[in-house]
């Protein structure tokens, strides 16, 4: 696989997918925080506690995710984390109680561990080996636009359809746009990793 083909089939799909994922399940929280505070009546401290819990769970799940990727299950971890995140966004659209909000974001931490930068970079490193730095840099630069995507789109959608439908739109974007991109990128990454394994 040529360098140009590699970037087309692996790096660019991952870069675009990571931008959407970060926008939908990470930056959506600060983008919608004030709306939730106003609509649900919970304080910023109560709300942000849920997000902190998600980050803690994500960190705790990271070693297990890394082991699964090392064993060749990166495609399933990446896609599974993305789909779990989309399902949890759908559940988020129905919350009425603070405990429901916390339960969803705690579970979201597991989803984050499977589909944010760490698993993406682990798959890239497994595939590219010592040449992974340039690929990781490109993914990071592109996905760095996620906040720029999330905040204005969240605010515009909230004005049009309310926050509950907004998170459903984010969930749909993850499945419809990110699902195929991850599938394409992970299949190419698996082929490249298998090819590297046979190089003496």
Residue 1's pLDDT band (cuts 50, 70, 90) = very low
- The pLDDT score that the predictor gives to residue 195 is 65
Distance of CA 1 to the CA centre of its chain: 27
Amino acid 84: pLDDT:
97
d(CA 132, CA 137): 9
Angle, alpha carbons 121-131-118 (nearest 5°) = 10
DSSP string, 47-93: HHHHHHHHHHHHHHHHHHHHHHIIIIIHHHHHHHHHHHHHHHHHHHT
What pLDDT is stored for residue 200 in this prediction?
Answer: 42
Q: Give the side-chain half-sphere CA count within 13 A for 24.
A: 35
Per-residue pLDDT of 105-151, as tens digits, reads 999 999 999 999 988 998 888 888 878 888 899 999 998 889 898 99
The pLDDT, as a whole number, for residue 4 is 65
pTM over 0.85: yes
Give strand ranges (E) for the chain.
none
What does the pLDDT look like over 49-93, one tens digit per residue?
Answer: 999 999 999 999 999 998 898 887 888 999 999 999 999 999 999
């Amino acid at each position: 696989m040529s360098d140009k083909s590699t970037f087309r089939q692996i790096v660019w799909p991952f870069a675009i997918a990571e931008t959407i994922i970060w926008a939908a399940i990470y930056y959506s929280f600060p983008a919608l925080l004030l709306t939730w505070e106003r609509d649900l009546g919970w304080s910023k401290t109560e709300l942000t506690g849920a997000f902190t819990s998600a980050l803690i769970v994500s960190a705790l799940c990271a070693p297990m995710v890394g082991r699964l990727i090392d064993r060749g299950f990166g495609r399933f971890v990446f896609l599974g984390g993305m789909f779990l995140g989309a399902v949890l966004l759908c559940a988020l659209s129905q919350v009425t109680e603070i405990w429901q909000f916390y339960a969803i974001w705690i579970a979201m931490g597991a989803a984050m561990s499977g589909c944010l930068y760490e698993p993406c970079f682990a798959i890239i490193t497994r595939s590219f080996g010592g040449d992974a730095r340039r690929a990781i840099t490109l993914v990071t630069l592109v996905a760095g636009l996620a906040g720029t995507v999330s905040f204005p789109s969240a605010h515009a959608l909230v004005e049009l359809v309310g926050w509950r439908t907004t998170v459903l739109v984010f969930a749909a974007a993850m499945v419809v746009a990110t699902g195929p991109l991850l599938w394409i990128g992970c299949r190419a990454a698996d082929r490249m990793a298998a090819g590297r394994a046979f190089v003496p």
